[in-house]
Chains A and B, each alone.
Chain A
Amino acid sequence: MLRQPATSTQITHLDRLWLYVLCGLVIVFLIAPTLLVIPMSFSDSRYLSFPPESWSLRWYRAYFGSLEWRDATVVSLQAAFLTTIVATVTGTLAAYGLHLARSGAGRLVQVALTLPMMIPVILLAIGIFLFFAPLELNNSLSGLVLAHTVLALPLVLISVTAGFKSFDMNQEMVARSMGASRPRAFLTVTLPQIRNSVISGALLAFITSLDEVVIGLLIAGGDKATLTRRMFLALRDEIDPTIAAISSLLIVLSIVLLAVSQYFQSEPRD
């Protein structure tokens, strides 16, 4: 630690104390509510309470023992996997096309694809609901996957577009001149080099679908209820500490996936 300035212009840690305190407060406010739920999930009480008076795993047992919760989990995981596949493939292709297209039309398409990020999700959800109704896509897995793809695709697009920025397209041209068809050149030369941005986009897509609740509330009813939808409804009817257990599991999963995604984003290409 630097207590005394080595030169007259150097800023010591003491000078920056206020900054550290401020940062600490911001972090606490951001993270505390999230972490609060974890001790609550190990409570023995019938109601959500903090701090818990006694500890137990009963709410985890309740979650794993319930058929309803298990069905909802299966739906959520199916939706998340399928959304990841659809959003990653289409998002990567879109990023590729937009990277090559230098025209104004390309920029318009880019804006159109990232629009769902700007619009309030509730509006998006209502629009999707009305749009799906005549197509009978509401309360179906394919409808859910399509809707979640709308949310996830911009994330893949942004991540992969960033990946292309540091990729030299001449490499793909040289591969094609040596006899590789365009898809083959992409798969053997381009994709391995933008791999990290694709993986990190895919993980973001997965989390987006898994955590999504608003659209799920409107279009995922009946036996296609997602985990988050069921949690929300359970929270409304009665405060069931099972939710705390599920939330804790989701938090851990999200943190792991985000960490993995960060790892792939920051790792230098080899």
Chain B
Amino acid sequence: MATPADAPAAGGNRSASLPITIERLVKSYGSFKALDDVSLSIRSGEFITLLGPSGSGKTTLLMVLAGFVRPQSGSVRFADREVVLLPPHKRDIGMVFQNYALFPHMTVAGNLAYPLKLRNVPAREIAGRVERALDLIQLSAFGERRIDQLSGGQRQRVALARAVIFEPRILLMDEPLSALDKNLREQMQLEVRRLHDRLGMTTVYVTHDQREALTMSDRIAVINRGRVVQLDRPRELYERPATHFVASFIGESSTLPIEVRDGRPSFAGAPLLSAAPAPASSASSFLVLRPEKLRLLADAAPAEANVIAGHVRQNVFQGDSIVTYVRTASDHEIAIRRSLRTDEVLPEMGTAVRVGFSAEDAIIVPADADAPQTGRS
């Protein structure tokens, strides 16, 4: 590289991150396309998450960025530099694997020093930087420990520190938290995000946990069957899913089949009010309802924009909230999540109720081109 950014990063003047431009990537194994015409623009310093079900191509895309998988066609650029043919060790990226891949034949400090030694950093500077990195991950006393003497969370931190100690401008992570238990995972989500904010490198993060993606990301690329289905910020993705797949993959939802005629949607014969323009005309569209945006209407309540009648089928108590399942006259199921006041009485099973929701919360999505999926309720 010809940029002055190549100088040792002692002064911190080197720009911390690079934008990544991915264009028309295709990677096939035999006749199977693991990546099917993927294009993606990642901004400098952005935290972007690749989210998708198992086998959707997330790891493959990450491996193409890292240089371990060579696509059949397409382009990957870091800033203006084409890297698709560049070998991994010349890409200057940090990587964290799901199983951490720490070196068991080295100490914790040895692991952290490894990338610095490769860069011929003088020994004294290595010692200082390793010490600071250990401080950063709160493992100062653990430098001389062997890897198998660390807990899962500590290994995770060491792997993370090792990936960023040489100040790469791009950081790639493949499900780095999936081996941790729930509490630790949630704590580490915040730590990883803070580390990113502090160091500022462009980060591509892979997960199949939608909640993790929503928590951590600036933007999320939803991937299905080797294609990017939607790229958006977490809130937009949740509130404005572009397809049935995205709606059902992200967050909880009830999906009801609806009809759209002349741009006017209707469910079970009754017209629906939706804030977003409905798809022009299609026999197979879906109404997506988020459980926490629905209300169970009392008789006296002011009418909502949309009302669907049904019977209470089940109440599920979840501590901080309660989910009521309502079966509509058309025999579909709608889940409603509410927080309960202590003195509130639950509607009994079989009670006739009305479910109300605003026009803003009536999300209408087209069915997916291939194999329609039912929503998780």
Contact = CB atoms under 8 A, between A and B. Distances in A.
Interface of A: 168, 170-171, 173-182, 184-185, 188-189, 192-193, 269-270
A255 B205 CA distance: 54
Contact of B97 (A170, A185, A270): A170
Would you call the interface of chain A mostly helix, strand, loop, or mixed?
Answer: helix
B98 to A, nearest CB: 8
Given A193-B104, A193-B105, A269-B104, A177 B99 contact: no
Given A170-B97, A170-B99, A181-B89, A175 B105 contact: no
A176 B92 CA distance: 10
A177 B95 contact: yes
A184 to B, nearest CB: 7
Contact of A178 (B67, B105, B146, B166): B166
B68 A178 contact: no
A185 to B, nearest CB: 8
Contacts of A189: 103, 105
Nearest to B148: A270
A175 B89 CA distance: 8
Nearest to A170: B101
Given A168-B99, A170-B97, A180 B104 contact: no
Given A174-B95, A179-B92, A269 B105 contact: yes
Given A170-B97, A184-B118, A177 B105 contact: no
Please list the 9 inter-chain residue pairs (A to B) with the smallest Cβ-Cβ separation, ordered nearest first: A178-B115, A170-B101, A177-B95, A174-B101, A179-B118, A176-B88, A171-B101, A192-B105, A176-B89
27 contacts: A168-B101, A170-B97, A170-B99, A170-B101, A171-B102, A173-B97, A174-B95, A174-B97, A174-B101, A176-B87, A177-B66, A177-B88, A177-B93, A178-B115, A178-B166, A179-B90, A179-B115, A179-B118, A180-B89, A181-B89, A182-B87, A185-B89, A188-B114, A189-B105, A193-B105, A269-B105, A270-B146
Contacts of A173: 66, 68, 88, 95, 97, 101
B337 interface: no
A195 to B, nearest CB: 9
A178 B94 contact: yes
Contacts of B93: 177
A190 B66 CA distance: 20
Given A178-B114, A178-B118, A184-B118, A171 B89 contact: no
Interface of B: 66-68, 87-95, 97, 99, 101-105, 114-115, 118-119, 146, 162-163, 166, 172
A171 B67 CA distance: 15
A170 B100 CA distance: 9
A37 B260 CA distance: 97
Contacts, number: 67
Give the one of A177, A179, A180, A192 with max B CB within 10 A.
Answer: A177
Contacts of A175: 103, 114
A246 to B, nearest CB: 41
A171 B166 CA distance: 17
A179 B166 contact: yes
Nearest to A189: B103
Contacts of B99: 168, 170
Contacts of B89: 176-182, 185
A117 to B, nearest CB: 31
Given A173-B101, A179-B115, 11 more contacts: A170-B101, A173-B66, A173-B95, A176-B87, A176-B88, A178-B95, A179-B90, A179-B92, A179-B118, A180-B89, A184-B118
Contacts of B104: 193, 269-270
A32 B141 CA distance: 57
A177 B95 CA distance: 7
Nearest to B114: A178
B66 A178 contact: no
B93 to A, nearest CB: 6
A163 B329 CA distance: 64
Contacts of B95: 173-174, 177-178
Contacts of B105: 189, 192-193, 269-270
Contacts of A181: 87, 89
Contacts of A180: 89, 118
B4 to A, nearest CB: 19
A103 B90 CA distance: 28
A177 B91 contact: yes
Contacts of B162: 178
Contacts of B94: 177-178
A270 B163 CA distance: 23
A152 to B, nearest CB: 27
A185 B162 CA distance: 15
A189 B115 CA distance: 12
A34 to B, nearest CB: 38
A176 B87 CA distance: 9
A102 to B, nearest CB: 11
Given A177-B93, A178-B162, A171 B103 contact: yes
A174 to B, nearest CB: 4
A202 B38 CA distance: 48
A103 to B, nearest CB: 12
